[in-house]
Amino acid sequence: MTLERTLILVKPDGVRRGLVGEIIRRIEAKGYQIYALKMMTADRELLTAHYAEHEGKPFFEPLVEFMMSGPIVAIVAEGNRVIEGFRKLAGATDPTVAEPGTIRGDLARDQGTKVVQNLVHGSDSPESALREIGIFFN
């Protein structure tokens, strides 16, 4: 058993559309535990730290602007192989090609915006999870 924790963010589009409960329901239905949860408005400093590896890329500014456009929900979920499991549950980054049954496949669509608005973020590795959890839950 590989007990892990991961950071999950419900992005502003998910909060605006009232999908927080459905997203949490899917996380819990998969068998993961919610370890910590908070609704917040992220500022530029926090988002710059979170997306540091993307700074300087063309999508960085539109991404930061989108993430500051409304409240987000930060979640720490815990479970056996939760990092891999949540990323599978979230679906492909591009909601148009995300498989049915995934959060993005069922609930998101391409909005034609500068940056993909795909409802959720999930850490991609144990190292990223540790770093990201520290940023949002210091």
**Does 50 qualify as catalytic in the annotation?**
no
Query: 10 Å Cβ neighbour count for 44?
Result: 11
Whole-angstrom CA distances from 88 to 2, 75, 84, 94 are 16, 17, 6, 13
- The active-site residue out of 32, 102, 121, 129 is 121
**Structure-derived torsion over alpha carbons of residues 44, 46, 51, 56, reported in degrees to the nearest 10:** 40
Cα gap 123→94, rounded to integer Å: 16
Cα gap 43→23, rounded to integer Å: 23
Residues with a known catalytic role: 121
